[in-house]
């Protein structure tokens, strides 16, 4: 906190210094954002929280964000409150009320200079070397506390250098390590004055300094990552690639908060990401391919692989589509970003996904009066095959493009169609293979099929009714599910819903649970108030390919957000 108070004092001092130089009529601009998510957990005949969790049944996560802009200056802070305790299954240490992030920034577009002191968020390239960001739904805030300088020459070259300690998410603390990095981007097309082709190249360097040699004498103090990337767009076609190399890092094994750092077992890592696509009016194709091995990096080694996404330095999302229907997201793929030998061997992964979009034109047999939109998405992910394996000594070697056991694949088809001025619909079918043993460290392999329909009836310009129906067939685990949602929007300000997700196919009758909920929301301007009552299914919540495990619960939920 001493560093935060020092930065806060710096912000205030700079603010008053600048404010005194301003003319009286120029008072700058203050933006305020507030968000609160509260839940009252209630036991029922099917779902009960643990005795420890039941000690605080009313919990909330609240955020107050202030940003002040005046000329080339920007100052801000975010106060966070987790009282009386954080919502269930957020990172330990998120408690009480404190300043979560605070910063001062000078931005001069004429000079191409941007300087930040305090907390900041940053991403290099695709994020495979560095990404610091905030996602409140996932409980992620890995902002870096330190300094950053960004410079744009105005001639097609831009550069960034940074350094600091990462907020590790276990409360408001900073990691016992130091993150530094640099990134350079060059626009070849701007320098060479290309008119029909957009060509950019870039390189990144990220280093973590963590001194653990007193406990682990064979462990290097620094771990580095190097990245090289290129992106090109020409006409309707685009393509890009990024390669990342990570220097030796220790193998970390363990479950939960108990981690064992094996300093005599160190491995390097690498990743190759390729994306390409073609788009024009009514048609689009996007392909993403990736091969990675031991590329994950955490600001503290003892946080490696933790379930709260705490201390994540780089961004290694699951490259699968984030589907809209609830039952499509019961079995979601999760990346094993670091090499592990226990409980099962995970040497790395290789695979990809594709998205194909096509719109049948109006006044055709398939298009009808308003046109018809089709989308096909598929993904496949396999383990890297290994050439030599010694489980006792924790040693494995893999070929670069060798496909091993299957982890996951899916294929989904979606049709969106407007039938009239009042009716529109979405129909979806999906098939899926899910290897629980290697994705969840559980056992078994699953095949699932999902079908769903989403129909909207527009009563008038302000009112509408929406009905969603879904079904999932599974040959294992919790077996079949059914779900339905009814939503009524009587005006631009109000909306109401009732939802039920029923695991009727579970082999255990006591686990054949209705996960029902009923609620509504009021929206006026930038203010939204939502309230619901019901049960929450346990499992994974995923945003952008990054997931968080949530427990089963039931109770009353209140969400408030506003900006002014």
CA-wise closest residue to 271 among 248, 238, 294, 304 = 294
* pLDDT confidence of residue 508: 95
> Which residue pairs, CB below 8 angstroms and at least 24 apart, start in 428-434?
428/325, 428/328, 428/452, 428/453, 428/454, 430/323, 430/328, 432/331, 432/408, 433/406, 433/408, 433/409, 434/331, 434/333, 434/408
Backbone angles phi, psi at 26, to 5 degrees: -105, 95
pLDDT digits (tens, 9 = 90+) for 298-324: 999 999 988 888 999 999 999 999 899
Q: What angle is formed at CA 313 by the lines to CA 204 and CA 244, rounded to 5 degrees?
A: 40
Of 234-243, 341-350, 352-361, 477-486, the one with minimum mean pLDDT is 341-350
Going by pLDDT thresholds of 50, 70 and 90, the confidence category of residue 390 is: confident
3-state secondary structure of 437: helix
Going by pLDDT thresholds of 50, 70 and 90, the confidence category of residue 453 is: very high
Going by pLDDT thresholds of 50, 70 and 90, the confidence category of residue 412 is: very high
> Is 314:338 a contact under the CB 8 Å cutoff?
no
The model's pTM is 0.92
> Is 202:125 a contact under the CB 8 Å cutoff?
yes
Is the pLDDT confidence value at 499 over 90? yes
* pLDDT confidence of residue 307: 86
Mean pLDDT of the chain: 92
Is the pLDDT confidence value at 21 over 60? no
* pLDDT confidence of residue 169: 66
Strands (DSSP E) found in 361-442: 372-390, 395-418, 423-435
For range 91-105, the mean pLDDT: 93
Residues whose CB is less than 8 angstroms from the CB of residue 70 and which lie 6 or more positions away in sequence, other chains included: 15, 18, 19, 22, 26, 27, 28, 29
* pLDDT confidence of residue 13: 41
Element (H, E) at 10: helix 2-21
For range 104-127, the mean pLDDT: 97
Is the pLDDT confidence value at 1 over 50? no
pLDDT digits (tens, 9 = 90+) for 518-533: 999 999 999 999 999 9
The two structure tokens encoding residue 502:
């029923």
Residues whose CB is less than 8 angstroms from the CB of residue 2 and which lie 6 or more positions away in sequence, other chains included: none
Torsion angle, CA of 458/460/461/464, rounded to 10 degrees? -40
* pLDDT confidence of residue 51: 85
Strands (DSSP E) found in 281-371: 283-293, 349-360
Percent of the chain with pLDDT over 90: 81
Backbone angles phi, psi at 8, to 5 degrees: -60, -40
For range 405-425, the mean pLDDT: 96
3-state secondary structure of 138: coil
* pLDDT confidence of residue 397: 83
Distance between CA atoms of residues 478 and 289, nearest Å: 31
Residue 86 gets which letter from DSSP?
Answer: P
Going by pLDDT thresholds of 50, 70 and 90, the confidence category of residue 3 is: very low
Going by pLDDT thresholds of 50, 70 and 90, the confidence category of residue 258 is: low
Distance between CA atoms of residues 335 and 330, nearest Å: 16
469 vs 306, residue with greater confidence:
469
Going by pLDDT thresholds of 50, 70 and 90, the confidence category of residue 441 is: confident
* pLDDT confidence of residue 16: 42
Distance between CA atoms of residues 340 and 294, nearest Å: 9
Of 44-53, 133-142, 169-178, 358-367, the one with minimum mean pLDDT is 169-178
* pLDDT confidence of residue 256: 53
Residue 300 gets which letter from DSSP?
Answer: S
> Is 46:536 a contact under the CB 8 Å cutoff?
no
The two structure tokens encoding residue 540:
């994974």
Distance between CA atoms of residues 106 and 66, nearest Å: 17
Work out the number of other CB atoms within 10 angstroms of the CB of residue 137: 12
């Amino acid at each position: 906190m001493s560093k935060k108070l020092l930065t806060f004092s710096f912000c205030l001092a700079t603010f008053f210094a600048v404010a005194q130089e301003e003319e009286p009529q120029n008072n700058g601009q203050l933006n305020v954002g507030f968000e609160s998510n509260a839940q009252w957990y209630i036991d029922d005949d099917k779902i009960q929280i643990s005795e420890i969790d039941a000690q605080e049944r009313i919990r909330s996560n609240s955020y107050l964000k202030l940003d002040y802009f005046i000329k080339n200056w920007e100052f801000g802070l975010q106060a966070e409150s987790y009282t009386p305790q954080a919502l269930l299954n957020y990172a330990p240490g998120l408690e009480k009320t404190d300043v979560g992030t605070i910063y001062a920034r000078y931005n001069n577009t004429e000079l191409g200079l941007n300087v930040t002191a305090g907390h900041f968020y940053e991403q290099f390239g695709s994020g495979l070397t560095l990404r610091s960001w905030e996602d409140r739904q996932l409980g992620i805030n890995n902002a870096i506390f330190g300094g950053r300088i960004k410079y744009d020459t105005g001639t097609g070259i831009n550069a960034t250098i940074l350094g600091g300690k990462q907020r590790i998410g276990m409360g408001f603390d900073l990691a016992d390590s130091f993150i530094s990095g640099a990134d350079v981007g060059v626009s070849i097309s701007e320098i060479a004055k290309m008119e029909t082709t957009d060509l950019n190249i870039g390189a990144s360097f990220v280093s973590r300094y963590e001194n653990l040699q007193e406990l682990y004498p064979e462990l290097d103090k620094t771990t580095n990552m190097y990245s090289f990337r290129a992106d090109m767009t020409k006409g309707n076609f685009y393509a890009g690639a990024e390669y990342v190399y990570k220097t030796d890092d220790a193998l970390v094994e363990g479950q939960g908060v108990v981690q064992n750092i094996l300093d005599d077992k160190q491995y390097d890592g690498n990743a190759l990401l390729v994306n390409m696509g073609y788009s024009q009016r009514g048609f689009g194709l996007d392909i993403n391919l990736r091969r990675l091995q031991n590329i994950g990096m955490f600001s503290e080694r003892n946080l490696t692989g933790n379930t709260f996404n705490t201390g994540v330095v780089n961004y290694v999302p699951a490259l699968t589509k984030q589907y809209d229907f609830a039952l499509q997201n019961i079995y979601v793929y999760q990346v094993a970003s670091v090499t592990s030998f226990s409980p099962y061997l995970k040497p790395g992964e290789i695979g990809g996904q594709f998205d194909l979009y096509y719109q049948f034109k109006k006044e055709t047999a398939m298009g009808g009066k308003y046109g018809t939109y089709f989308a096909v998405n598929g993904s496949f992910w396999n383990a890297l095959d290994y050439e030599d394996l010694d489980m006792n000594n924790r040693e494995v070697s893999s070929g670069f493009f060798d496909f091993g056991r299957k982890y996951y694949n899916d294929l989904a088809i979606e049709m969106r169609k407007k039938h009239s001025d009042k009716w529109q619909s979405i129909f979806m079918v999906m098939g899926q293979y899910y290897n629980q043993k290697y994705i969840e460290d559980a056992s078994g392999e699953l095949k699932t099929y999902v079908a769903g329909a989403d129909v909207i009836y527009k009563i008038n310009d302000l009112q509408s009714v929406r009905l969603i129906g879904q079904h999932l067939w599974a040959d294992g685990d919790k077996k079949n599910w059914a779900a339905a949602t009814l939503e009524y929007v009587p005006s631009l300000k109000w909306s109401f819903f009732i939802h039920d997700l029923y695991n009727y196919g579970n082999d255990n009758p006591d686990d054949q649970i209705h996960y029902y909920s009923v609620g509504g929301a009021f929206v006026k301007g930038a203010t939204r108030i939502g309230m619901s009552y019901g049960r929450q299914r346990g499992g994974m919540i995923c945003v952008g390919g990054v997931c968080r495990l949530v427990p089963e619960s039931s109770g009353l939920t209140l969400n408030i957000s506003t900006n002014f």
